């Protein structure tokens, strides 16, 4: 069965279902043929968000990545100590 055709909402390129990137926001699905088109959309999305909400969201997202990196570094250290 042929895959369903999808259209990138940023550049208009046609791609097949299963390829590309999908972002779901509040039940609506947005489709992009590549990560770079998805990133363009997300960057544009920031322009329409309340700056205070965006600031809080950025801090929370950064915190999550900092904690993830900390865990990775601790894990690497443990692996080195085992050698
Ligand atoms: Zn595209």
How do the pLDDT tens digits run along the chain, 83 residues long?
668 999 999 999 999 999 999 999 999 999 999 999 999 999 999 999 999 999 999 999 999 999 999 999 999 999 988 87
pLDDT at 29: 95
For residue 20, the CA-to-ligand 1 centroid distance in Å is 9
In the DSSP assignment, the letter for residue 34 is S
pTM for this entry: 0.77
- Cα dihedral 33→34→37→38 (10° resolution): 100
Terminal C-alpha separation, the chain: 52
For residue 74, the CA-to-ligand 1 centroid distance in Å is 39
Per the rule left: phi > 0, alpha: psi between -120 and 50, beta: everything else, 18 is left
pLDDT at 1: 60
Please say whether the beta carbons of 13 and 1 come within 8 A: no
């Amino acid at each position: 069965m042929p895959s369903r055709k999808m259209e990138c909402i940023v550049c208009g390129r046609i791609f097949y279902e299963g390829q590309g990137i999908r972002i779901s926001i509040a039940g609506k699905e947005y489709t992009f043929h590549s990560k770079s088109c998805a990133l363009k959309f997300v960057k544009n999305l920031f322009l329409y968000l309340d700056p205070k909400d965006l600031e809080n969201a950025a801090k929370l997202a950064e915190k999550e990545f900092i904690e993830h990196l900390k865990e990775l570094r601790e894990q690497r250290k443990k692996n080195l100590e085992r050698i």
